[in-house]
A and B are shown apart, each in its own frame.
Chain A
Amino acid sequence: MKMRVNQMIGGVVVLLGAAAPWIINPYELSLLGRFLALSILAMGIMLTWGEAGILSLGQGVFFGLGGYALAMHLKLAGLNLANGDMPDFMVWSGVSALPALWYPFANPVVSLACVVIVPGGFAAAFSWLVFRRRVGGVYFALITQALALAFSTLLISQQAYTGGFNGLTDFSTLFGFDITTEGAARVIYWVTFGFVLVTYFALRWLLMSRYGVMLRATRDGENRVRFLGHDPVPYKVVAFGIAGALAGIGGALFTLHSGVVSPALVGVVPSIEMVVWVAVGGRNILWGAIAGTLLVNFAKDQISSALPSLWLYGLGALFILAVSFLPAGIAGLFKDGGGSARVMRRLLSRKALSTAE
């Protein structure tokens, strides 16, 4: 019975999501599309932080790798490379020939593959190096934060190859289609929506599989798992790699929606914001990650357009509130089902606090 109610709610949400282009105006649709792209990344954080207990403060790096991988292609699409054409910013920086690193991205398929493989592969390799040495917890979080700082600094300093502080913008075509029209915006929205659905169901299956159980077991007691004869490292590496790939996909889709990718989106502060979305939504429930992302970002959009200076305080306050009163996030309130009365009771009682750890 409860199952059926949940399924019905889910079905309505999916229908509304699919019909959104006819319900809301193009500006709102563009926002929703962007935030849904971010929610793909957020589901990755739910996987690593919530289920695997690995807190990363550097998801912006993988988001950026995906975003740049696609943006590099978008900058090259439509240029005549044989003719010696180059992206505008390179010409302004006085680069004489297209850097070798850029060439493969002239091919859209290579570029799209890189959106997944580069951040996913980098995340897996990086985390393997760290976890193999049995470094974890706070130290891992600090290392990832340093990574985010280094990555954004690198992007800014290599102006001639990366577009520097301004990043890459001014895109026109993908696979020969004009991506600036309203029709294209709608298609991009549906593609994003499709990715959200696929990610949601794929992760849901993964978390129900034996792998999911092993991942939670590793989170609960890495040593206990090791002394039961399992090597915990691969489980964690796979989770972190998947989260990296999802961040990359989110980054690419976000870039398509917003028409720009820049270091401002990949550094330390955005990386921390990403964690806040999931903290607010609920890090142990998949839909919580999506809901948190949408909620925080729409709030950000409203608050920062009304009172720009207020947003950072708002974000900080939100994080403190979520951590102290809703450790299981908004989704945690609904965990055992039940009506709004129960939700309110939980909010008021301290139950949410005690059940989280």
Chain B
Amino acid sequence: MNAIPAPILMMEHVTVDFDGFKALTDVSLSLTPGDLRILIGPNGAGKSTLCDTIIGRVRPTAGRIMFKDQDITSLAEQEIVRRGICRKFQTPGVLPTLSVMENLLVSARKNRAWWRSFTTRTPAAETARAEEILHQIGLEDRRDVVAADLAHGEKQWLEIGMVVATDADLLLLDEPTAGMGPQDTQRTAALILKLLGRHAVLVIDHDMSFVETLNGYVTVLHQGQILKEGSVAEIRADAQVRAVYLGRSDDDEPADA
């Protein structure tokens, strides 16, 4: 993980304080371009808050966030996306009354100026990219289906597709396998692994078998602080991690105070 290429994202001593409750305390994290990072931790550890902070939904009380060597800590949400960070939410955030293709085309829009939307023509490059992603997420035969009518797993894939369609350099995937069966989970893992190289991906998940399939570098968050970083094997072997997280429950969602 050492500085061979310059990091694409650096969180520097980020603290998030919700009226006295410290959701994140002095978190520093750096991600490599095109690389995978897995973020795990018990419920309430601050994983989603960490994502929220990167995309500007939550503002840090202290510290700063650098993306491609620029400070993005206080930029507007849509501006952060335009710089190249896009996030998939925990509950599928597809646009329910739009068709699968329309969902992808809204995401793939290159020129996001509103006054450029008064046209019925879609640039060929955007259509081609949307088609390509449609294929990648395996929803070709669902092209014109309204997103609300998709199965749960398909919605998750569609949203991953939408995030990919923005051509962001960093994708934040918040529990992409939530509510999925083992088969769909494996398919999702394969999909994510194919995205690497072109995109850096930060995955949040509870499911250890999924994490093992992805087999990337893992950061463990506990009570708003980074507890441990290392390979999946190292994390599995770590006594402290087992104590706070893995060993506490055979379920993936231990209750946390």
Contacts and interface: CB of A to CB of B under 8 A. Distances in A.
Instruction: Determine if chain A interacts with chain B.
Output: yes
Contact of A228 (B102, B115, B122, B162): B162
A293 B106 CA distance: 33
Interface string A217-245: 10111011111111100110010000000
B77 to A, nearest CB: 5
Interface stretch (B91-99, B136-144, B241-249): B91-99
A230 B77 contact: no
Nearest to A211: B117
A226 B77 contact: yes
Interface string B67-93: 000000000111001100011010001
A221 B112 contact: no
A213 B55 CA distance: 24
Contact of B118 (A209, A216, A219, A220): A209
Contacts of A226: 77-78, 81
Nearest to B165: A228
A214 interface: yes
B163 to A, nearest CB: 8
Size range of the chain B interface in the assembly: 20 to 34
B86 A228 contact: yes
Contact of A214 (B78, B86, B114): B114
Contacts of B118: 206, 209-211
A217 B120 contact: no
A229 B81 contact: yes
Contacts of A210: 109, 117-120, 122
Given A210-B122, A227-B81, A238-B114, A216 B95 contact: yes
A209 B120 contact: yes
A217 B114 contact: no
Contacts of B77: 226-227
In this complex, the member of A210, A214, A221, A223 whose beta carbon has the largest number of chain B beta carbons within 10 angstroms is A210
21 contacts: A206-B118, A209-B120, A210-B117, A210-B118, A211-B117, A213-B98, A214-B106, A214-B117, A219-B97, A223-B93, A224-B89, A224-B94, A224-B95, A227-B81, A228-B162, A229-B112, A229-B166, A231-B78, A231-B112, A235-B114, A238-B114
B110 to A, nearest CB: 10
A228 B89 CA distance: 11
In this complex, the member of B89, B95, B112 whose beta carbon has the largest number of chain A beta carbons within 10 angstroms is B95
B226 interface: no
A93 B119 CA distance: 52
B96 A220 contact: yes
Contact of A220 (B97, B120, B166): B97
Contacts of A220: 95-98
Interface string B141-169: 00000000000000000000010001000
Contacts of B119: 209-210
A201 B118 CA distance: 15
In this complex, the member of A229, A230, A231 whose beta carbon has the largest number of chain B beta carbons within 10 angstroms is A229
A208 interface: yes
Nearest to A221: B95
In this complex, the member of B87, B120, B166 whose beta carbon has the largest number of chain A beta carbons within 10 angstroms is B120
A213 B121 CA distance: 12
Contacts, number: 84
A205 interface: yes
Interface of B: 55, 57, 76-78, 81-82, 86-87, 89, 93-98, 102, 105-107, 109, 112, 114-115, 117-120, 122, 162, 166
Nearest to B147: A220
B55 A227 contact: yes
Contacts of A205: 120
Contacts of A229: 78, 81-82, 86, 112, 166
A179 B118 CA distance: 38
Interface in A164-223: 205-206, 208-211, 213-214, 216-217, 219-221, 223
Nearest to B107: A228
Nearest to A223: B93
A221 B122 CA distance: 22
B84 to A, nearest CB: 9
Nearest to A213: B102
Interface pairs A-B: 6 shortest CB-CB:
A229-B81, A234-B114, A220-B95, A211-B117, A224-B93, A210-B117
Contacts of A216: 95, 97-98
A357 to B, nearest CB: 9
A340 B210 CA distance: 52
Contacts of B166: 228-229
A218 to B, nearest CB: 9
A202 to B, nearest CB: 11
Contacts of A224: 89, 93-95
Nearest to B96: A220
A222 to B, nearest CB: 10
B116 to A, nearest CB: 8
A247 B118 CA distance: 22
Contacts of B109: 210, 230
A234 B86 CA distance: 21
B133 to A, nearest CB: 13
B120 A208 contact: yes
A228 B93 CA distance: 11
B171 to A, nearest CB: 12
